[in-house]
């Protein structure tokens, strides 16, 4: 199965608009489609594809967190000193900051027969889901507010996709935005990354960072510029930067109010054939599929 990952350096660039259209176009061409939403902090694909879905699998997402046994703790302060995430302050753990690394447990000198004064527990922070939708098999995770995506969460979403889609030639994956751990897990093992570029000042700086990350992971990348026509100067800067970096631009999608209508109706924009953006997304899809097939 070849995996096409749709990615951006920040949220709100139109990544899901393109991913949902690619899924709909792929579904129109072949019966068996599989897709995943790795943007598990704020998943959106389910808003478009969950109608008439049936669940194939549902499992809890567990995250490791430190807890302190106040009866045992001597307030020696060692865990405060060694916690690199600022999650431990005066014997109180901020569970939103705790990354579950386990260093505090390792350095804590106080121990009962069962556990140390600070020890790790697994807390349920959401669900992994695989479902059969009218467009194909869909893997995602939905996390509770504040749970935060980890590389492991993304890995499991992708692993579930492979487990349930053994005979599917192409998978479309909507990646997490940014450049952190979830991105690295999104990119790992895919065949091609399609970067969705936003013509803006932050879009340019985000492209520089995300491209560096993708190239370090040695995965081929191509780009497309979204919402073309509203910021010509930034569009030209993006084209120049991509030429300099030898990042092929496979398409330019015009700004189109019909995209907003499609989002508001939870439909892929390619369901609106009169949309200028939909026409360019269809061309982009053809080019991306050709590029993917040509890769060894
Ligand atoms: S598990 Fe790691 S991040 Fe969490 S409190 Fe302990 S040292 Fe800090
Ligand atoms: S290292 Fe152990 S004993 Fe010391 S403050 Fe932390 S939890 Fe308490």
Atom 5 (ligand 2) nearest CA: 75
Q: Output the six-digit token pair for 198.
A: 């936003």
Q: Is the shortest distance between the CB of 93 and ligand 1 below 6 Å?
A: yes
Q: How far is the CA of 103 from the centre of ligand 2 (A)?
A: 11
Q: How far is the CA of 78 from the centre of ligand 1 (A)?
A: 12
- Domain coordinates of the chain in residue numbers? 2-51+134-294, 62-124
Q: Which CATH architecture has domain 62-124?
A: 2-Layer Sandwich (3.30)
| Local confidence pLDDT in tens for the 296 residues of the chain | 899 999 988 788 899 999 999 999 999 987 679 999 998 878 888 999 888 889 999 999 888 899 999 999 999 999 999 999 999 988 889 988 898 899 999 999 999 999 999 999 998 889 999 999 999 999 999 888 777 667 888 999 999 999 999 888 899 999 987 777 888 999 999 999 999 999 999 889 999 999 999 999 999 999 999 999 999 999 999 999 999 999 999 999 999 999 999 999 999 999 998 999 999 999 999 999 999 999 87
- Do the bridges between strand 249-254 and strand 192-197 make them parallel or antiparallel, or are there none, so unpaired? unpaired
What SS3 class is residue 67?
strand
Q: Is the shortest distance between the CB of 110 and ligand 2 below 6 Å?
A: yes
Q: What is the pLDDT of residue 149?
A: 65
Q: What is the pLDDT of residue 180?
A: 76
Instruction: Name the burial class of residue 114, with classes exposed (0-12), middle (13-18) and buried (19+) by CB atoms within 10 angstroms of its CB.
Output: exposed
Q: Model's pTM, two decimal places?
A: 0.87
Q: What is the pLDDT of residue 142?
A: 86
Q: How far is the CA of 93 from the centre of ligand 1 (A)?
A: 8
Q: Is the shortest distance between the CB of 79 and ligand 2 below 6 Å?
A: yes
Taking domain 2-51+134-294, whether its CATH number is 3.40.50.300 is answered by yes
Tokens 């993304």 appear where? 154
Atom 8 (ligand 1) nearest CA: 83
Tokens 């405060």 appear where? 80
| CA pair distance 218, 4, nearest whole angstrom | 15
């Amino acid at each position: 199965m070849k995996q096409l990952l749709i990615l951006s350096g920040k949220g709100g660039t139109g990544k899901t608009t393109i991913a949902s259209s690619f899924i709909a176009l792929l579904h129109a061409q072949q019966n068996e489609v599989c897709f995943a939403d790795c943007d598990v902090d704020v998943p959106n694909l389910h808003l478009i594809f969950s109608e008439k879905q049936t669940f194939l699998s549902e499992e809890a997402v567990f995250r490791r967190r430190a807890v302190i046994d106040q009866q045992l703790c001597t307030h020696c302060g060692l865990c405060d000193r060694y916690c690199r995430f600022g999650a431990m302050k005066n014997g109180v753990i901020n569970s939103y900051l705790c990354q579950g690394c386990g260093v505090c447990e390792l350095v804590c000198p106080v121990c009962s027969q069962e556990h140390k004064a600070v020890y790790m527990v697994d807390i349920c922070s959401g669900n992994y889901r695989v479902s059969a939708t009218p467009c194909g098999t869909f893997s995602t995770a939905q996390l509770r507010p504040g749970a935060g995506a980890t590389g492991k969460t993304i890995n499991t979403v992708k692993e579930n996709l492979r487990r349930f889609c053994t005979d599917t030639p192409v998978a479309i994956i909507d990646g997490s935005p940014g450049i952190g751990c979830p991105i690295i897990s999104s990119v790992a093992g895919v065949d091609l990354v399609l970067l969705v570029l936003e013509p803006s000042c932050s879009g340019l700086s985000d492209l520089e960072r995300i491209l560096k990350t993708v190239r370090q992971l040695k995965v081929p990348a191509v780009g497309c510029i979204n919402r073309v026509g509203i910021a010509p100067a930034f569009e030209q800067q993006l084209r120049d930067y991509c030429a300099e970096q030898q990042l092929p631009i496979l398409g330019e999608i015009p700004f189109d109010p019909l995209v907003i209508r499609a989002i508001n109706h939870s439909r892929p924009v390619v369901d609106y054939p009169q949309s200028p953006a939909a026409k360019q997304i269809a061309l982009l899809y053809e080019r991306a599929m050709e590029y993917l097939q040509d890769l060894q």
